[in-house]
């Protein structure tokens, strides 16, 4: 059979990325232009500024991905692009670049859900086995998704307020750490010799939903109370306590769902899946249960286009095609 080469494009948030994937699982090139320095100046992602960075970078990144792959547009089978969810202005830069590239080169275009992309990052490491449970934890999402086959996504739990990564970023700000807060808290937590006790948001017994805003408030209150008494917080102890609470709830709910749905494979995805504490906890838990657990390397956990091309290849094989009417869908359902 002929090899399938798909160009992936991702611009849903703050990374401008393009990648070529062979046969849905082999990374031929993977280019990510980060805007992190710019965001550190503003303490987060400013949508309008993100869009401007995407405009500056997108052509270079696409050319770079083809160059690194040593391929011509004519060698490609399709262009896959993140259609949503995300910042609409940011999404539109990638979508319009994909449309222009596809039109100019006579290629089909495929619209990919960003979270499907995060899940399919795992396909770049090992084949998926179904039924599969995915824990998606990123700056915008905290979801448990059950997959019974390729392209089948059933949402069984989600956050009712902040996403896990959002909680990390907000707590980091309280602790005076730079943006993005996840890696900084992770590092402090692992180095810490003690941990402040914070509550766990279990919600209803049967629920696979999550909540992180109460934990965030608990951290803020802890700091205020201590400062009112003339004390000061030990940032590493707060970081460790916060991380323990997040990791314990994420691990326990993922384990409960994995057992209830009798899944063959559990995967983690999204930027917070880069968290060392969370990775260790999930690895240990599923090892003990004898359930296959995988998490991609950190570079494939955070936003990238290889994951979009991988998910796009599964859709391509399934006969799915988009068209030139494609629009950014900020609230696109999975
Ligand atoms: O998936 P991602 O790159 O972008 C979104 O689609 O949101 O995730 C970014 C989020 C940020 O909130 C960042 O703080 C968090 O992932 N993150 C981490 C770690 N590395 C990145 N959170 C906890 N621990 C980390 N090591
Ligand atoms: Zn993401």
Does the beta carbon of 272 lie inside 6 Å of ligand 1? Answer: yes
Average pLDDT, the chain: 95
Q: Is the CB of 322 under 6 A from ligand 1?
A: no
Residue 237: how many other CB atoms lie within 10 Å:
17
Q: How far apart are the CA of 301 and the centre of ligand 1, in A?
A: 8
Q: How far is the CA of 108 from the centre of ligand 1 (A)?
A: 31
Note the pLDDT of residue 143: 96
Instruction: Report ipTM (2 d.p.).
Output: 0.97
Q: In a mutational test of the pocket of ligand 1, which residue from 182, 190, 334 has the highest number of ligand atoms less than 8 Å from its CB?
A: 182
Task: Tell whether the model's pLDDT for residue 112 goes beyond 90.
Answer: yes
Q: Is 302 near ligand 1, meaning CB less than 6 Å away?
A: yes
3-state secondary structure string, the chain? CCCCEEEEEECCCCEEEEEEEECCCEEEEEEEEECHHHHHHHCCCCHHHHHHHHHHHHHHHHHHHHHHHCCCHHHCCEEEEEEECCCHHHHHHHHHHHHHHHHHHCCCEEEEEHHHHHHHHHHHCCCCCCCEEEEEECCCCEEEEEECCCCCCEEEEEECCCCHHHHHHHHHHHCCCCCCHHHHHHHHHHHCCCCCCCCCCCCCCCCCCECCHHHHHHHHHHHHHHHHCCCCCCHHHHHHHHHHHHHHHHHHHHHHHHHHCCCCEEEEECHHHHCHHHHHHHHHHHHHHCCEEECCCHHHHCCCCHHHHHHHHHHHHCCCCCCCCCCCCCCCCC
**pLDDT average, residue stretch 274-287:** 97
303 lines ligand 1 (CB under 6 A): yes
**Per-residue confidence (pLDDT) for residue 300, from 0 to 100:** 95
Mean pLDDT in residue range 225-250: 97
**What is the residue extent of each domain of the chain?**
5-120+301-317, 130-295
Q: Annotated binding site for Fe cation: which residue ranges? A: 114, 118, 303
**Ligand 1 near 139 CB (within 6 A):** yes
Q: What is residue 95's predicted lDDT score, i.e. its pLDDT?
A: 98
- Please provide residue 25's backbone torsions phi and psi, each rounded to the nearest 5 degrees: -140, -10
Q: How far is the CA of 271 from the centre of ligand 2 (A)?
A: 6
50, pLDDT greater than 90: no
Ligand 1 centroid to Cα of residue 176, in Å, is 17
The CATH number of domain 5-120+301-317, selected from 3.30.460.80, 1.10.10.10, 3.30.420.40, 1.10.287.130: 3.30.420.40
Give me the pLDDT at residue 276, please.
Answer: 96
pLDDT of residue 38: 73
pLDDT above 70 covers a percentage of the chain that reads 100
Q: What is the pLDDT of residues 160-198, one digit of tens each?
A: 999 999 999 999 999 999 888 999 999 999 999 999 999
Residue 33 above 80 pLDDT?
Answer: yes
Name which residue sits closest to atom 2 of ligand 1, judged by CA: 271
Query: What atom in ligand 1 is closest to the CA of residue 298?
Result: 20
pTM over 0.90: yes
Mean pLDDT, residues 35-50:
79
Of 87, 3, 77, the C-alpha closest to 46 is 87
Binding residue positions for substrate: 136-140, 169, 182, 186, 275
Tell the CATH superfamily of the 130-295 domain. Answer: ATPase, nucleotide binding domain (3.30.420.40)
Average confidence (pLDDT) over 285-306: 96
Question: From the CB of 274, is ligand 1 less than 6 Å away?
Answer: yes
Q: Give the residue-averaged pLDDT of 210-225.
A: 97
């Amino acid at each position: 059979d002929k090899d399938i080469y798909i160009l992936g494009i991702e611009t849903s948030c703050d990374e401008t990325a393009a990648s070529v994937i062979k046969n849905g699982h082999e990374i031929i090139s993977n280019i990510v232009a980060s805007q992190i320095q710019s965001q550190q100046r503003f303490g987060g992602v400013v949508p309008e500024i993100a869009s401007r960075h995407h405009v500056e970078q997108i052509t270079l990144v696409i050319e770079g991905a083809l160059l690194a792959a040593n391929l011509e547009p004519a060698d490609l089978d399709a262009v896959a692009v993140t259609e949503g969810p995300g910042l609409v202005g940011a999404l539109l830069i990638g979508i319009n670049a994909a449309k222009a590239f596809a039109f100019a080169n006579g290629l089909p275009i495929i619209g990919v859900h960003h979270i499907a992309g995060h899940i399919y990052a795992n396909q770049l490491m090992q084949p998926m086995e179904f039924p599969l449970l995915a824990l998606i934890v990123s700056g915008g999402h905290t979801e448990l998704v059950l997959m019974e086959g390729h392209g089948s996504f059933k949402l069984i739990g989600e956050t009712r307020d902040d996403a896990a990564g959002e909680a990390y970023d907000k707590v980091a700000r309280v602790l005076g750490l730079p943006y993005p807060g996840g890696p900084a808290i992770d590092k402090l937590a692992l180095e810490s010799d003690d941990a402040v006790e914070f509550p766990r948001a279990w919600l209803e017994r049967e629920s696979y939903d999550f909540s992180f805003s109460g934990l965030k408030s608990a951290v803020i209150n802890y700091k205020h109370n201590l400062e009112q008494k003339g004390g000061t917080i030990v940032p590493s102890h707060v970081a460790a306590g916060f991380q323990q609470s997040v990791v314990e709830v994420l691990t326990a709910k993922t384990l409960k769902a994995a057992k209830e749905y009798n899944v063959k494979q559990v995967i983690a995805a999204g930027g917070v899946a880069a968290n060392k504490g969370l990775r260790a906890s999930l690895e240990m838990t599923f090892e003990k249960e004898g359930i296959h657990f995988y998490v991609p390397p950190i570079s494939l956990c955070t936003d990238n286009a290889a994951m979009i091309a991988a998910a796009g290849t599964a859709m391509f094989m399934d006969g799915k095609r988009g068209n030139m009417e494609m629009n950014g869908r900020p609230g696109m359902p999975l």
